[in-house]
Amino acid sequence: LGSRISGAIQRLNTATVIDDKALTICVNEITHALLQADVQFKLVQALSSNVRKSVEKLAAGHDKRHIIQKAVFHELRAMLDAGKPSFTPTKGRTNVVMLVGLQGCGKTTTCTKYALHYRKKGFNPALVCADTFRAGAFDQLKQNATKVKIPFYGSYTETDPVVIAQEGVRKFADAKHDLIILDTSGRHKQENALFEEMRQLAAATNPDLIIFVMDSSIGQAANDQALAFRESAKVGAVIITKIDGHAKGGGALSAVAATKSPIIFLGTGEKADAFETFESKAFVSRLLGMGDIAGFANKIKEVVPSELQPELVQKLADGNISFKFLCDQIENITSMGSLSQLMSMIPGFNNINVQSFDIQQFRKYRVILDSMTNEERNSSSLSESRILRLAKGSGTSVDNVQQMVNHVKTMSKQMKGLKLNKKGDLGKGKSM
Ligand code: GDP
Ligand code: MG
């Protein structure tokens, strides 16, 4: 998505006159890219027309490329803004939170993640399994909760989820737990039985917050699904799961638009700590392929040995990125597993198929690096004649070398916005 949008804007730049026709072509291209990323048609239409308006308002002489890019960014962020904050648990009272969503969307997994998040903030959470529909539902919750030592409640014999929910909430409220999280059942399809059960559970436990959990890979179905849940429950917040997979993320915008509720967290993996507080800026950056610089830098810091960190942080902050640095970072990332998630955070890498990049592209980078002189390796750009020589010398192509040059350029440019704070930590990335 990012490359298609920047490509469209780039072409606009090469046009000698940016007339109405050139602008139309550019906006159409952006429209197609957004639709492919599963952003809902209605939303894309609104976005395109707003982008057009912000460009047309401009007097001649302004940098239209930058304006368009900025407008797309701001429009997407505005769409993720539900216009109202979500309920957040507060200390000194019993907070009841209920999770709803289709089967397999990640409710049970998310319950534990949510509980852990608030335990770190000093809450005393407990889980209630009100899913009597799926065989093994209670065992799954029990296992997850036991692993991280969070109290849980459920039953192997009771078949009425409302009875279990009521008993569980009462038990944990009496025991002075200040955050009670209610896991509910899903169905494969949106069925009346599911929505009726949700209504009964809400009536019986009176939750402070109902969270709609949505699998990010459902694509264009996001809108209808979110609408259906909102109609049957007072949804107050959204959690999007599995964004570590191949999902394109556009469905999240639909969920906010349909439920009129903010996204509060993202599920980024199967493990209990694979959970992020939702930040619209970072999310849109990733969606557009601009990279989540601060997030990337912090992830890298997690995997780089601490004695090497000051040097790394300094290099990042200087925007002083050489070819060798690029290769070393890829190597670091490859050695840690969770490749796709990390890659998506690096500017210029978001649109590369990670699996194939790993084996093919990276090998080529390494071969090219091996053909470089030391001086070249530690530099961040190459002249045309050197590109030619390296392509020949390494047995790759001019395109391959050029690609590597472009990656280093993008990384350097974007990393430069990073600031070091007094502790030597990385601050926020450059804003648009
Ligand atoms: P439920 O039916 O809604 O309760 O869904 P579960 O919590 O049982 O999750 C269904 C599957 O999705 C399980 O295999 C989970 O491990 C997996 N899952 C849940 N959240 C995530 C996530 O954020 N990323 C990934 N990769 N898998 C997830
Ligand atoms: Mg479940």
Residues 6+ apart with CB under 8 A from 12: 18, 22, 23, 25, 26, 64, 65, 68
- What is the average per-residue pLDDT within 294-321? 62
Task: Give the percent of the chain with pLDDT over 70.
Answer: 73
Q: 95-288, what's its fold? A: Rossmann fold (3.40.50)
Task: Please give the Cα distance from 213 to 235 (Å, whole number).
Answer: 10
Q: Read out DSSP for 188-230? A: SS--HHHHHHHHHHHHHH--SEEEEEEEGGGGGGHHHHHHHHH
Please tell me the predicted confidence (pLDDT) of residue 23.
77
Residues 6+ apart with CB under 8 A from 322: 377, 378, 379, 380, 408
Determine the atom of ligand 1 nearest the C-alpha atom of 241.
23
Ligand 1 centre distance from Cα of residue 268 (Å): 10
**Chain segment 67-126, per-residue pLDDT in tens:** 777 788 888 888 888 888 999 999 999 999 999 999 999 999 999 999 999 999 999 999
Return the higher-pLDDT residue of 431 and 276. 276
Ligand 1 centre distance from Cα of residue 165 (Å): 22
The CA distances from residue 297 to 49, 68, 245, 300, in Å, are: 35, 27, 21, 5
**Chain segment 328-352, per-residue pLDDT in tens:** 766 665 554 444 455 555 554 544 4
**Chain segment 254-285, per-residue pLDDT in tens:** 889 889 999 999 998 899 989 989 988 878 87
Question: Mutual orientation of helices 398-415 and 384-394 as an angle, nearest 10°?
Answer: 120
Ligand 2 centre distance from Cα of residue 152 (Å): 14
CATH architecture of 2-79: Up-down Bundle (1.20)
User: Would you say 381 and 405 are in contact if contact means Cβ atoms under 8 Å apart?
Assistant: yes
**Chain segment 176-192, per-residue pLDDT in tens:** 999 999 999 998 777 88
Task: Please give the Cα distance from 108 to 136 (Å, whole number).
Answer: 11
- Say which ligand is closest to the CA of 135: 2
Smallest CA separation from ligand 1 atom 26, residue: 269
CATH classification for the domain delimited by 293-415, as one of 1.10.260.30, 3.40.1170.60, 2.20.28.90, 1.10.3720.10: 1.10.260.30
Smallest CA separation from ligand 1 atom 27, residue: 270
Ligand 2 centre distance from Cα of residue 201 (Å): 15
Ligand 2 ion: Cβ-proximal residues, 5 Å cutoff: 107-108
Residues 6+ apart with CB under 8 A from 18: 12, 64
Probe ligand 1: pick from 109, 139, 189, 211, max atoms within 8 Å of CB? 109
2-79 and 95-288: identical CATH topology: no
Task: Please give the Cα distance from 13 to 194 (Å, whole number).
Answer: 52
**Chain segment 156-173, per-residue pLDDT in tens:** 999 999 999 999 999 999
Give residues (CB < 6 A) around ligand 1.
Answer: 101, 103-109, 186, 241-242, 244-245, 267-270, 274
Flag whether pLDDT at 392 surpasses 90: yes
Q: Where are the domains of the chain?
A: 2-79, 95-288, 293-415
Residue 254: how many CA atoms within 13 Å on its side-chain side? 28
Probe ligand 1: pick from 270, 271, 278, max atoms within 8 Å of CB? 270
Let me know how long the chain is.
Answer: 432
User: Would you say 98 and 220 are in contact if contact means Cβ atoms under 8 Å apart?
Assistant: no
Smallest CA separation from ligand 1 atom 10, residue: 104
pTM of the model: 0.71
Ligand 2 centre distance from Cα of residue 111 (Å): 9
Identity of the amino acid at 338: S
